[in-house]
Amino acid sequence: NFAERSEEQMSGAKVIAQALKTQDVEYMFGIVGIPVTEIAIAAQQLGIKYIGMRNEQAACYAASAIGYLTGRPGVCLVVSGPGLIHALGGMANANMNCWPLLVIGGSSERNQETMGAFQEFPQVEACRLYTKFSARPSSIEAIPFVIEKAVRTSIYGRPGACYVDIPADFVNLQVNVNSIKYAECCMSPPISMAETSAVRMAASVIRNAKQPLLIIGKGAAYAHAEENIKKLVEQYKLPFLPTPMGKGVVPDNHPNCVGAARSRALQFADVIVLFGARLNWILHFGLPPRYQPDVKFIQVDICAEELGNNVKPAVTLLGDISAVSKQLLEELDKTSWVYPPESKWWKSLREKMKSNEAASKELASKKSLPMNYYTVFYHVQEQLPTDCFVVSEGANTMDIGRTVLQNYLPRHRLDAGTFGTMGVGLGFAIAAAMVAKDRSPGQWVICVEGDSAFGFSGMEVETICRYNLPIILLVVNNNGIYQGFDMNTWKETLKFQDPTAVIPPMCLLPNSHYEQVMTAFGGKGYFVETPEELQKSLRLSLADTTKPSLINIMIEPQATRKAQDFHWLTRSNM
């Protein structure tokens, strides 16, 4: 009866878990400890999937990738002080990438504040720089409303990271069940459209373009704009260029993809439509010499403050990319215009694509050992399942890998991103594997890591094995950061000398058997030195759906990318 029910008590931990569940949170990544263990247990009891990781940074990268892949934030749960500080890297990375994320951090008890409490730290203030919203609920009753606000803020407008601070004394405090009201699940983000006159102007600029180009960024992927953008490309015969994570919105093997002529496309386009891609370093700020000084940019973005950064755009279309690209389709449909497929521009792009592709193929066909990057990636591409997720990080490993490894589906590539972060790979792979398992079983996550990049979060291999995730790790091993030494040079260098005086800062231990990290936890490990061994181990890994694998691929320690037309290209990420 009512009198009995009204005395029923529940812990703060359960209130937090219920509030998250009410906001449709599906995944929680974290590391438990004082004072958050009870929150993880309560969340798991409510059906939130809890993935225990080995480092908060990797946990936070994983949670942020969930936000990008599903459109609802993943939660990263961390302990007070150092736990929260380790997660700051993941928050910063999510915010830079415009990905939703919710971090829940335990903090010290309120009545010990400023006294030097266990792991005391000004956490709400610390997170402010890395988030859109950072707050501590004033009472247990306020928790559901603060969590609703954090989830909503993370996905509305330009997506980003949010932080909710939970003092230790809230976690085990018992409250009357009836005293807690749960804020309703926040609605999906409202869809905004661009002003009609701006759409008309954009269509007219596009129709008058001599050398048009569409650039598809990860904002377009996040916005699920694939259908409308593909229509724009196909109906009007426009060339398009994906940014690294824009790959797959329209498949890489689409005849209108000019990825293989990237520099030429950027340099000579006279009209560029940007779908969810910022004119930051990845796109060389939109400035000469990488672009024509008078190139007309049409910017499509959900964030008004982004419009006009670095370049004065010809037209700005403020709104959701999926909605705005539909508006553009309808406007362009009003005439019979299509961009002529036999134009000089198309011819010049096709020519460049052919010669660039031939140059990489030639490098790939080199039979000399150790292998070079191109040989490795061509053999991987041959067996790459068309529906797999590709996670990639490292310097040359990521840059060259991106040009060879193809994406055919949107939101199926994750890499170092806007912030150029190394160490994201294993966390991202774990998140992608969770999404694959739950939404399209049978899908693989292929995680292509440089040997240095792998080292940042290598112990997450244990996490991968504990949850038995469908991940194949490829460690492209050149014994170092950018470049390393072969075994003979290494031995010569170290002869009778103090290692700290002679080991070049770029070098890592040569011929390290990273595959044994995987076998240590029961997965499959392969050490390969030839194309045949690589082919075989990849075939075996893909055939065995019961276990994760790691293939440690030895390459030429001094291998680099093919010669570039522009000297500054060798420095940049692209």
Applying CB under 6 A, the residues found at the interface with ligand ADP are 97-98, 158, 217-219, 222-223, 243, 245-246, 276-278, 280, 282, 301-303, 306, 320-321, 418
Do the Cβ atoms of 85 and 119 come closer than 8 Å?
no
Q: Which does 315 bind (CB under 5 to 8 A by kind): ligand ADP, Mg ion, none?
A: none
Q: Pick between residue 245 and residue 507 the one whose CB is nearest to ligand ADP.
A: 245
Q: Pick between residue 199 and residue 559 the one whose CB is nearest to Mg ion.
A: 559
- Number of residues that make up the chain: 574
Q: Pick between residue 158 and residue 547 the one whose CB is nearest to ligand ADP.
A: 158
How near is the Cβ of 217 to ligand ADP at its closest, in Å?
Answer: 3
User: Which of the ranges 77-85, 192-200, 293-301, 476-484 carries the binding residues for Mg ion, by CB under 5 A?
Assistant: 476-484
Q: Pick between residue 31 and residue 102 the one whose CB is nearest to ligand ADP.
A: 102
Residues contacting 121, CB < 8 A, separation 6+: 80, 81, 84, 85, 107, 108
Neighbours of 71 (CB within 10 A): 16
Q: Which does 23 bind (CB under 5 to 8 A by kind): ligand ADP, Mg ion, none?
A: none
How near is the Cβ of 319 to ligand ADP at its closest, in Å?
Answer: 7
The continuous run of DSSP H or E covering 50 comes out as strand 49-52
Do the Cβ atoms of 302 and 308 come closer than 8 Å?
no
Binding mask 7-46 for Mg ion (x = CB under 5 A): ----------------------------------------
How near is the Cβ of 490 to ligand ADP at its closest, in Å?
Answer: 37
How near is the Cβ of 476 to Mg ion at its closest, in Å?
Answer: 7
User: Which of the ranges 116-124, 208-216, 450-458, 553-561 carries the binding residues for Mg ion, by CB under 5 A?
Assistant: 450-458
* Sequential DSSP letters for 214-263: EEE-HHHHHTT-HHHHHHHHHHHT--EEE-GGGTTSS-TTSTTB-GGGHH
Based on the shown chain and the rule CB under 5 A, indicate whether residue 478 belongs to the binding site for Mg ion. Answer: yes
Residue nearest to ligand ADP (CB): 219
Q: Pick between residue 248 and residue 458 the one whose CB is nearest to ligand ADP.
A: 248
Based on the shown chain and the rule CB under 5 A, indicate whether residue 450 belongs to the binding site for Mg ion. Answer: yes
CA distance 300 to 323: 10
Please, is 279 exposed, middle or buried when counting C-beta atoms within 10 Å of its C-beta (0-12, 13-18, 19+)?
buried
Separation of CA 299 from chain center: 22
How near is the Cβ of 425 to Mg ion at its closest, in Å?
Answer: 13
CA distance 1 to 125: 45
CA distance 541 to 36: 37
Rounded to a whole number of angstroms, the distance between the first and last alpha carbons of the chain is 67
Q: Pick between residue 156 and residue 182 the one whose CB is nearest to ligand ADP.
A: 156
Say how many residues touch Mg ion, by CB under 5 A.
Answer: 4
Please, is 109 exposed, middle or buried when counting C-beta atoms within 10 Å of its C-beta (0-12, 13-18, 19+)?
middle
How near is the Cβ of 278 to ligand ADP at its closest, in Å?
Answer: 3
CA distance 479 to 485: 6
Q: Which does 243 bind (CB under 5 to 8 A by kind): ligand ADP, Mg ion, none?
A: ligand ADP
Separation of CA 92 from chain center: 13
User: Which of the ranges 128-136, 193-201, 381-389, 471-479 carries the binding residues for Mg ion, by CB under 5 A?
Assistant: 471-479
Based on the shown chain and the rule CB under 5 A, indicate whether residue 452 belongs to the binding site for Mg ion. Answer: yes
Based on the shown chain and the rule CB under 5 A, indicate whether residue 458 belongs to the binding site for Mg ion. Answer: no
How near is the Cβ of 299 to ligand ADP at its closest, in Å?
Answer: 9
444: its two tokens: 């693989």
**SS percent in the chain: helix, strand, coil, step 5:** 45, 15, 40
How near is the Cβ of 283 to ligand ADP at its closest, in Å?
Answer: 6
Based on the shown chain and the rule CB under 5 A, indicate whether residue 451 belongs to the binding site for Mg ion. Answer: yes
Based on the shown chain and the rule CB under 5 A, indicate whether residue 525 belongs to the binding site for Mg ion. Answer: no
CA distance 160 to 82: 22
How near is the Cβ of 456 to Mg ion at its closest, in Å?
Answer: 12
Based on the shown chain and the rule CB under 5 A, indicate whether residue 401 belongs to the binding site for Mg ion. Answer: no
Q: Which does 450 bind (CB under 5 to 8 A by kind): ligand ADP, Mg ion, none?
A: Mg ion
Do the Cβ atoms of 271 and 209 come closer than 8 Å?
yes
- Interacting residues with Mg ion (CB under 5 A): 450-452, 478
